[in-house]
Structure 1
Amino acid sequence: MAISRKEEARALSADEKELVEKSHHPVVQELSDADLSGLVKLLRERRDKAQAEAHRRRREIRGKGAPKGAAISKADGGSQVKLAVLAMAMRRLNGEAERRRQLAAHVSLVGNARKALAMKQNAPADGPAHNSRTAHKGMRAVANERAPKLVRPAELGRQRKAGKVAQAKRDAR
């Protein structure tokens, strides 16, 4: 479910609100890579802190944890909304970081392909058209290292079956 910016502002403190605002669309694309990684780190810390707080409050409400203040928490709706807002901001920032990583990989791939094409076009026409590190003698038979079996397979099967029959006779006594 989408959370409006008004609800985001209500759930966050002033400094958290500034961090989350930087994760929205037009602003996040203008950030440098260093600023983006710093923002991811700060927002991850805030999200983890909100997650721990929400978990603590849920334990208090269920009666499993000791209350932090004088009285037990009655509801944790605000901490849940805050956690959801920070988690969505982290998702947006992670998506932007992944988009930038894929873009850099694509640019690198295109650059490598152009370099390979230039090398191929500048190669001498009379040079070797193959990899010079191969043996150039084709496939050769590899000698079998196992000793040849002197007993026919049928004879082995006959002896195995005879042993089974003899054992069955002894067991039946």
Structure 2
Amino acid sequence: MGVGIASERRLLSEDELERVKHSHYPDLGKLEPDDVLVLAKWLRERRNRIRDIVATRRRARRGKASSSGIGAPEASERGLSEKKQIFARAIRRVNARLDRERTERRRERIRMNFDEALRRKRSSARHHPQAGDTSKDGMQPIGSDRRAVTTEPSEIGRVSQAVKDAQAKRDN
């Protein structure tokens, strides 16, 4: 479920809210790529810090860690979890912007490579080899080393008739 901007105002401090506002559109589209990287780094640091605090409080509640220096474990764990989700959603938006920029740069680089390859291909001399000595005569047959067996047509008929006679003799 999405968290509205009113919830962001309620959960975040002024400094955090100002930076998270930059992760919303259309402000995110107006940022320079270097500023987007700085924003992503800051958002990740804040999300990780809050994630660690929530995990420490949960461990303290279960009795696996000391509860010194983490404040009241029950009081604001839910608020911190929501705050962490706000930062995670902001990171998701910023990462989507970074992915789009990365994809555009990659497409531009591929396009430049294609254009350069096409330019090289068009500027190179075409290779058309000569047809060789047999261009007018076509293919020449190659003789075979096998022995040619020729059978007389009358011999074929004699064998067929002998088979027919033998079968008729067996049938009677």
Fold similarity call, TM over 0.5: yes
- 1:117-170 residue CA offsets vs partner (Å, 9 max, x unmatched): 111111123588xxxxxxxxxxxxxxxxxxxxxxxxxxxxxxxxxxxxxxxxxx
How many residues align structurally?
A: 128
RMSD of aligned Cα (Å): 2.0
Write the letter of the residue equivalent to 1:14.
E
1:54 and 1:83 in contact (8 A); partners too: no
Structure 1 stretches of 4+ moved >3 Å: 68-72
For 1:37-76, list aligned pairs within 5 A: 37-68=37-68, 72-75=72-75, 76=77
| Structure 1 residues 41 and 69: alpha-carbon distance in aligned structure 2, compared to 1, 3 A threshold | closer
Number of the residue aligned with 1:84: 85
- 1:47-99 residue CA offsets vs partner (Å, 9 max, x unmatched): 11111111122223333332235974224110100000011111111111111
| Structure 1 residues 2 and 102: alpha-carbon distance in aligned structure 2, compared to 1, 3 A threshold | same
2:53 and 2:70 in contact (8 A); partners too: no
For 1:133-152, list aligned pairs within 5 A: none
TM-score (norm 2): 0.68
| Structure 1 residues 71 and 36: alpha-carbon distance in aligned structure 2, compared to 1, 3 A threshold | closer
Is 1:25–2:25 an aligned residue pair? yes
| Structure 1 residues 99 and 60: alpha-carbon distance in aligned structure 2, compared to 1, 3 A threshold | same
Number of the residue aligned with 2:121: 120
In structure 2, distance between residues paired with 1:100 and 1:127: 44
Write the letter of the residue equivalent to 2:111.
V
Write the letter of the residue equivalent to 2:104.
L
**Structure 1 residue runs without a partner (length 5+):** 129-173
In structure 2, distance between residues paired with 1:71 and 1:86: 21
**Structure 2 residue runs without a partner (length 5+):** 130-172
Number of the residue aligned with 2:137: none
Bigger Rg, which one: 2
